[in-house]
Amino acid sequence: MKRTLFTIGLIAFCHLQTYGQAVQASDLPNASSATALIKTTPDTAAVEKLAATGKPVLPRKYRKSARKAFFLSLLVPGSGEYYVGQKGYTKGFGATEAVIWSAALFNKYQGDMRRRDYIAYAAQQAGSNPGRSDDLYYQNIYEWPNSYWYNEDLVRQARELYPYDPAAQQAYVADKQYSEEDSWEWQNYDQFYYYRGLRVKSRNYLHRISYSVGASVLNHMLSAVNAARLAKRFNKRSKLSQAPDWRLECYSYQPETITLAFLRSF
């Protein structure tokens, strides 16, 4: 682990004399014995635990919460990884989420456009009512070449369900039959099948939106689990020395010279 040492405090606090040349190694016979070290650590509990177990322990305030990372990514994929410090994963999950919803918007646009196309085509070629917006109406146009056959089939169903009750038969068909205003009739089967093709394309595009929703849910879950895993790994691999550690060191190489230094390791 790399340790970068820099001096923040006062160096050469009290110089009683100025050296004209560099001090040689032979001039410092008692350097090691004259050195005094004062060190303060921000988390004494962690130090005590380290001393007791012999294993590196990361102070609590520097740890990453696996629960917090999990719920951050569950809410916004990649945010938990950003909290842990793994920005590469953040970009990956964020880009995946953007692609998923871009595909959903594309399918929504294509589906709506095809729907407008088949509504206009049915009104132009079959004489349907373009003011109707309910999907069941256009589903019946999809299944029946004309409204007359559809209405006749309703009457047949009513007779089968209520063979001896004309009033019940009328009530059954009353809210299901189409009036002249909503009637339609395809002129030929080519037009009929072309309309069916437009409707199938529209429904396929709109149905694919559900795939995007499922993919997004999966992306959220994968990111949440990954963020929790990274947080646990961060806590496991980090060592006490990785936490900011301030200390005061005092050096005395000769009676005439005292050096004080504030040091920070990270």
Q: Per residue in 192-223, pLDDT tens?
A: 999 999 999 999 999 999 999 999 999 999 99
- Whole-model pTM over 0.85: no
The answer to whether 155 touches 178, Cβ cutoff 8 Å, is no
Query: What is the predicted pLDDT for the residue at 236?
Result: 85
Q: By percentage, how much of the chain surpasses pLDDT 70? A: 66
Reported as a pLDDT band with limits 50, 70 and 90, residue 153 is very high
Please state, rounded to an integer, the average pLDDT across all residues of the chain.
78
> Over 50: is that where the pLDDT of 27 sits?
no
Is the model more confident about 239 or about 133? 133
pLDDT at 150: 94
Residue 174 has pLDDT above 80, yes or no: yes
- What are the pLDDT digits (tens) for 63-96? 888 999 999 999 999 999 999 999 999 999 999 9
